[in-house]
Structure 1
Amino acid sequence: MKTKKIIWLNVMMLLGTIGLMLVLNEAVLRLYYWGSLAPKINDENPLVPHPTRGFAFRPGMTSWHQELDFTVQVHVNGQGLRGPEIQPKGAKKRILIVGDSTTYGSGVSEENIIPTLLGTELGSSRVDVVNGSFTTYNTVQELLFLEEEGLLFEPDLVLLAFSPNTDIQANTLSLQQLAQKHNRRPYAALSPQGELLLDLTYAKRFYQDQQENAEIRKASFFKGLVTYTLLKKYVKGFKSSKWNDPNMFIGWPFLAEFSPEHSTRGMSAQDYQVLWDDGWQVTKALIVRMRDESRSKGAKFAMMVMAPKLQVEKDYQQKVQEVFPHLKLDTSRINRAFEEFGKEAGIPVLDALTPLVEAWGMGERGLYYNVEDEHMTAKAHKLVAASLAQQIRDHHLLEVEE
């Protein structure tokens, strides 16, 4: 009996020691990544249901965005956009940037994001920049925002910030279903006659679901642990699933050709080509409609391709090649396609890639986050904003009196 008590006591002491070690480990990780033991928790959901776009930002809310790479406070103004309150149009020239999480400035404080810095570069006393960017929006949602709200701000220049690593595959339902698990956005297609058709079915369904379940969905205790997040990231690196298809999540914008060897669904190169060709044609039609709507309201229209990590960091490209050895990368393919499209459609194309590639080549590091997120850091935002300001001047896209 005494031996059993000793064994039981030893087991309890072992479990207690393991538990204490886990608690200490979690505390150290939180201090390292967050700089605090307590996570930043939002009392309200920063997103609200939207009848056509599925979701939008909650107007007038200040919230926290916390990941292992950063902890950032985000303010959304009364108009539902990130940034200061938008005043009625006056003598200042106005730029409206339409985009997704890159120009929204995911992980970067408001004073260090492209829209803020661009206004400073061009002269904040003469130009204001409205940040019409939303996290995870596709080009269809960006078009709807422009038509429903964006052009009401009376911009002199509308600048589309296109994200090549997500936008095309999220614009058509056929690509979206192969690239992501959830269908909750509006999508687009072309009729046999080439007419652009918008499908709001899934966005409306998501809108109704959100209205019925409006409370904030809190993560479970374990999913809120830094330890859990790191373990999940580690395991994911060795886990294969149907979503781990480089022909989809890297895709046509960055590939010289498709690689059936890495297909997770047994698709041929021709299968991928058909889907991506359709996605690209739909995307061009969406952008042309944005151009026409902008010009009809007296605004100039220009576009730029935002540069993901894959295009800039050579060691990141090498890691991708090691994981997918049959993959044939062509990381500037989408930029050439946009240049050609811009000439066809009469749309100026600004260059957001070169300043980052040049900086990387000169030894600049820390342009992108690395742990849980891969968005641009404040350093990259500053480089791109300075370059864009000069290009806007060179293209005479905004006539500003000096």
Structure 2
Amino acid sequence: MKKALGNILLILASIVFTLLAAEAVLRIVPLDIAGSAGGDRGYFSRFDPELGWAPLPSVEQYHVDHGFSVTVLQNAMGLRASREHAFEDKTDQRRILVLGDSYVWGYGADQEDIFTEPSAHGDETVEMINLGVSGYGTDQELLFYEKLGKQFDVDEVVLAFTTYNDILNNMFAEQYGYQKPYFTDENGLTLHDDHVVDRTARSIGFWFRDNSRVVALAETGFLNLKHLWQSRFGDDEPFAHPRNRVLGPRAIRPIDSQGVDLTVRLIERLRDDVEAAGAEFSLVFIPYKPNVLALQAEDHPLVTAMTPALSEAGIDCYDPYAMFVEAARDGASLFNERDNHFNAKGHEIFGKVITDRQLRETVSVCQ
């Protein structure tokens, strides 16, 4: 019995020694070999009691997922950017703060290709500040602006709205396996966040993943094996089918319709906060990939469903869908191959809409 126990302890000690030795070796390996990560929310964000999750500060990492490996830089405030942004406007540039989810954060895009980067938008008269956080709905974007965004002295705030899932994100207390704050709109907007608590087991797991090169490399290896399996056996649709279907005017689900009014109220409050801070506010829709690739005449039907209420509220909103269809018709590739997010060309077009105010007026959908 003692001999068996001794053998078990020896094996465990050998495993611990091997892992520690591997960790030491990987600490001196270049970042592109050992410093990669999979989950966008889990790896590049942390628990936050007010927001559910918030971006990690001071990140220099590689994001590896769905067949890509891209650089990710998050500055000292946690914003995905290759530079720091001062709260005070000390330049003569037009400053535009952009709120949104993974489309703004830049899922699957190299740092230099994201539309908020100077290397991508190419307009020396504009400084764009990226407040995109993967997985956020309008509710968390509103709270993130109130917590951090309003401290920036900017000329304009642009909300990039995703018809795929922003409305559903706003309706539930948990999304993507994470607890989050949410609002109800009965007698005015009421915030609910008492349920947002940290989970000890998840925090411990995240700590090991964030601080261990061995765990990061193991996660990368798992993702590579998954991608190989998908390519060999035809499993090339990692997202739910509704996100990959062409949608016509009557394709809105009842649950989406239920969330439109709440979402518009959240956008109105965000607009009021922005204008109270002395900046302009506008909303730009993210073009719906399946309809773009099918060269459909209309964008996601939620655009049409939302614009009357947005117009009535006096919110300026724009939809560059026709520009994306025209580019697709000309043979341009605009989206990541294996998901619905922008590639470098998609970011380039979207960035032009944000920076060029005259161009934006040509795609206005709210009167």
Q: Shorter-chain-normalised TM-score: which range?
A: 0.7 to 0.9
CA distance in 2, matches of 1:277, 1:66: 35
What residue number does 1:370 align with? 337
Q: Does 1:256 align with 2:249?
A: yes
1:352/1:388 contact within 8 Å kept: no
Q: Does 1:215 align with 2:183?
A: no
CA distance in 2, matches of 1:71, 1:214: 20
Change (3 A) 1:136 1:297: same
The structure with more radius of gyration = 1
What residue number does 1:381 align with? 347
Shift of 1:314: 1.3
Q: Which runs of 5+ in 2 are unaligned?
A: 1-31, 210-214, 363-367
RMSD: 3.6
Q: Does 1:198 align with 2:191?
A: yes
Shift of 1:223: 6.7
Q: Does 1:297 align with 2:297?
A: no
Report sequence identity in percent.
Answer: 26
Change (3 A) 1:112 1:229: closer
What residue number does 1:15 align with? none
CA distance in 2, matches of 1:256, 1:394: 24
Alignment partner of 1:186 out of 181, 193, 205: 181
CA distance in 2, matches of 1:238, 1:70: 15
1:145-183, Cα deviation, whole Å (9 max, x unpaired): 110100101221010001111111111028x7xxx6624
1:223/1:229 contact within 8 Å kept: no
Shift of 1:395: 5.1
CA distance in 2, matches of 1:128, 1:221: 35
1:69/1:369 contact within 8 Å kept: no
Q: How does 1:261-300 map to 2 (within 5 A)?
A: 272-273=253-254, 275-300=255-280
CA distance in 2, matches of 1:293, 1:207: 32
Q: Does 1:100 align with 2:92?
A: no
What residue number does 2:49 align with? 51
Q: Does 1:63 align with 2:61?
A: yes
TM-score, structure 2 length as denominator?
0.75
Shift of 1:116: 2.0
Q: Does 1:89 align with 2:84?
A: no
Shift of 1:210: 5.1
1:244-267, Cα deviation, whole Å (9 max, x unpaired): 573xx579x9453359xxxxxxxx
2:113/2:119 contact within 8 Å kept: no
- Give SS of 1:197's match: strand
Q: How does 1:2-151 map to 2 (within 5 A)?
A: 40-41=35-36, 45-83=43-81, 84-87=83-86, 88-90=88-90, 91-117=92-118, 120-121=121-122, 123-124=123-124, 126-151=125-150
What residue number does 1:224 align with? 222
Letter in 1 for 2:185: L
- Give SS of 2:134's match: coil
1:14-51, Cα deviation, whole Å (9 max, x unpaired): xxxxxxxxxxxxxxxxxxxxxxx956435994322212
1:312-338, Cα deviation, whole Å (9 max, x unpaired): 1118x9xxxxxxxxxxx9744222234
CA distance in 1, matches of 2:241, 2:116: 33
Shift of 1:79: 1.3
CA distance in 1, matches of 2:147, 2:70: 29
Change (3 A) 1:150 1:346: same
Letter in 2 for 1:374: N
1:249-304, Cα deviation, whole Å (9 max, x unpaired): 579x9453359xxxxxxxxxxxx52x322211111111011000001111110001
What residue number does 1:336 align with? 304
